[in-house]
Structure formats: structure tokens, C-alpha cells
A and B are shown apart, each in its own frame.
Chain A
Amino acid sequence: MSETAVDFYFSFRSPYSYLAGPRAFALAERYAVDVRFHGVIPMAMRSQSVPVARRVHTILDASREARRLGMPFGRIHDPIGEGAMRCLLVAQHALDVARGREFVLIASRGIWGEAIDVASDAGLRAVCERAGLDWRRCVAALADPAMRARVDADTDALTRLGMWGVPVFVFEGQALWGQDRIEDLELLLREARLEREGAGAKLSGDER
């Protein structure tokens, strides 16, 4: 049976996307929804200026939020540029082989909590293999124009929504921006009576 969807727009360069990831994917376990991943190109790679003050605040605030959520954070290797793009391309392949969730969570934890350089073959290969992906097929995905077209389409879709940053969640036409808005998204899911039997109404922050 096809389920209602929550569209999840994500960037590997966004620490808030990383913080949202586990809770976003877990929504499918607690609600009768399909969480559809859309990896988007980082703002700074889309000719949008990101002032230093904003970058500094994002790191400081994400650090506090990671502590609150009990997620590793601080051993960082900023993937801006090639690293972010390589992860986006591999994520498309991972979705095709039903390992999307695993790859996204492992790669983003590698970037924000383990200082893995995903622009290097050694770094990317390590996260791919931990996610259960075949490295040779990942290498093929990096050169596949169809994967790049899907990344571009997802990025364009975010812009068409009138949204600029990530993470963004879209449910029944309503877009919510920010890892701290999963609480509001869950309210909408409960109002739509999509809670799975026995799943309980846990608060988002309890999901680790």
C-alpha cells in the first residue's frame, strides 16, 4: 500500500540536517508515512552568500543542540565543495539499493562527528562500506550524469518550494524548516491520524 509522504530536504554540509537525520528517518517507524530523502546542493555552492557570523553561530548552536540530543559533534571536516557533491551522488545510488538511510546517517556523522574527509577516496570509501555499499558501484555513481541530474532536480525542487536552507520537511503542502520543527511536523502527522498503533507519542527529542 502506498503511504503518505514526508519529503525531507537535506544537505551534507548542514549540521542541522545531520542533527535532524535520525529523527527524520525514524518518523516512518512511528507514523504511516514514507520519508522521501532529497539531497540538495549546499547554499554556499549555489551562489548564496553565507556570512561569517551565520557560519559561526550555526556551529556554536549546533554544538549545543548536539549535546542536548546526545549526538557526536565537534570533530568536523567541512565537506563544502567536492566532498558534499560526492556524498550527494552516492546518496542517490544508496537510495536505489535501499541503503539511503544508512548512508546518509553514517556519512553525516562522519563529517560532523568523526572528521572524515569525504572528498578523499579513503574517507568516502570508509563511510560507503560502513553503510553496506559496494565501493565500485559508488565510484560509478560519482561519474553518472543521471545521479547528478537527480541532485539538481532535488535542489531545484527546494527552490520552487520558496525555501532556502535545510533541513526542510514537506507534508501535505506545508513546509517546515529546521531540525527543531520536527515537533511541529509530528503534531501535523498526529492530527492526520497517521500514528502507528503502539508507536506511542514520543517527543522528537527522545529519538537518538
Chain B
Amino acid sequence: MSSAADTLRRRILPRALVALSRVNRPARLAARARRGLGRDGRVELFFAFEDPCSAVAALDLEERLARRSVTLVLRPVVRRGIAGDPAAQDKRRYAIGDARRLAARAGLELTRGEPVPPKTCDFLAAWAASAPQGAALRRFCTQALRELWFTAEDEEPVSEARFAPIWREQFGADPPRGVAGERALRRNERRMRLHWMYETPAAWVHGQWFFAHDRPLQIAQRLDELGWSAT
């Protein structure tokens, strides 16, 4: 590699990224304009039902944002992580213990000790992706995540029969069938990649993204900076 290319890669690009990360004025102006139009702030959470850290983050954000004029937009995904990641299994196993510790901070107890087998939650993601954004979807997702991670135990199957009553309670109809949910999931996944987010739980907060389970206080601080403080 040429010396110039090496300097660009090692010094200039990282420094430029850091400098860009400190540019906050456009986001502040946009937030002020948004408030002027009477619109709430917005946090988009990209999450996976099979990810226990997503469960912790969704429940935490739902509670934190309730005290602010900020809408929580829930975007379930199935495809996440680094393609061909050799550590994928280790990460899934580690996430259980990590989520247990994080949940304990919020007074919750994770009832599972093992990862949920891949694909077993895909139906939940498809249901949720096909639903319109709003309070009913938020209630469905948080109740389903509670059921999945803070009520059910390892040996209990993740079945449609278990979660359909939660759906009916919120939407007054049977869970959706067909490919609409799949298409909506792919849209969510594309949107996640467009924001350069590669893993869940990822929160997009007016131009910046955060791992939502790691950075709840920083998300709150970002909203404070933009003028959407807790009341």
C-alpha cells in the first residue's frame, strides 16, 4: 500500500469520522424545526425477538421514552450481524448472560438460560413487521418479548399458539398470514443497513445510532441535547 493510502486509512479517515461525529448543529436545527411543526421526536429501534439484549432494550426504551415527547418506532428484523461471523455462536451464548445482568439492573429476571434456536421467532418478527406503527404494536412487542424472555423457560416451545392471544388482544384479529410480513422485514433490514447498523438492538436517534442495550443513558442524553427532555 502506498504511503499516501496508508496515511489516509490510518490517520485521515478515522480523524475525519471523529470530527464529523462532533457536528451537531444540523441535528439541533432539524429538531427545533420538528418541534416547531408540533411533531414529536423519534427513536427507531431495530430489534430481533430472538435476541435477549433486544428484549432488555425494548422494555427499557418503552419506559424511558414514555416520559418524553418522543415516539418509539419498532422495526423487527431477522437478518442481522456480520455475514459468516465465526463468533456468531459464541455471541448468541454470551448475550444470554449479558442480558441477564442488564435486566437485573432494571429489576427483571431473565427466565431462559439458553439461546432461542434460530428461526423459531421468525413468525413473531413477520407479524410485528406487518403491523402499522403505533401503541398497539408497541404493546404487542413488549408483551411478546416479556413472554419470550422473562416468563417462558428453555424447554417451553416458542409457538404461534402462545403468542396469538397477545396479538388478538392488541389488534382484535388473528395474526397475519402471507408474504406481507416477510416483505416488511426485508424493508426493515434494508433500512437498518442504510443507516450502517449491522446488529441488534440498534437505536437510530435523529442521525446517530447506538447499541440500545449498551447506551440507554447516552440515548437519553442525545434526546436532551435535541430538546426532547423528560418531563
Chain A residues at the B interface, C-beta cutoff of 8 Å: 48-49, 51, 53-54, 56-57, 59-61, 63-65, 68, 73-78, 80, 115, 117, 162-165, 174-178, 180-181, 184
Number of chain B residues whose Cβ lies closer than 8 Å to a Cβ of chain A: 34
Known: A53-B198, A162-B90. A59 touches B14 (CB 8 A): yes
Cα of A162 to Cα of B17 in the assembled complex, Å: 31
Chain B residues at the A interface, C-beta cutoff of 8 Å: 9-11, 14-15, 17-19, 21-22, 82-87, 90-91, 93-94, 97-98, 101, 193, 196-198, 208-211, 214-215, 218
Count of A-B contacts judged by CB separation below 8 Å? 81
Cα of A49 to Cα of B86 in the assembled complex, Å: 9
Q: Across the interface, which residues of A come within 8 angstroms of B93, CB to CB?
A: 162
Cα of A59 to Cα of B19 in the assembled complex, Å: 11
Cα of A56 to Cα of B20 in the assembled complex, Å: 11
Q: Are A74 and B198 in contact (CB under 8 A)?
A: no
Q: Are A77 and B10 in contact (CB under 8 A)?
A: yes
Q: Are A63 and B18 in contact (CB under 8 A)?
A: yes
Cα of A180 to Cα of B210 in the assembled complex, Å: 13
Q: Across the interface, which residues of A come within 8 angstroms of B19, CB to CB?
A: 74
Q: Across the interface, which residues of B come within 8 angstroms of A57, CB to CB?
A: 196-198, 209
CB distance from A9 to the nearest CB of B (A): 14
The residue that B14 contacts in the complex, of A51, A64, A78, A181, with Cβ under 8 A, is: A78
Q: Across the interface, which residues of A come within 8 angstroms of B18, CB to CB?
A: 59-60, 63, 73-74, 76
CB distance from A160 to the nearest CB of B (A): 11
The residue that B214 contacts in the complex, of A60, A162, A175, A180, with Cβ under 8 A, is: A180
Q: Are A54 and B198 in contact (CB under 8 A)?
A: yes
Q: A63-B17, A178-B214 are in contact. List 19 more A-B contacts (CB 8 A).
A: A48-B87, A51-B83, A54-B198, A57-B198, A59-B14, A59-B17, A60-B17, A63-B21, A65-B218, A74-B18, A76-B11, A76-B14, A78-B10, A115-B11, A117-B10, A163-B90, A164-B86, A181-B98, A181-B101
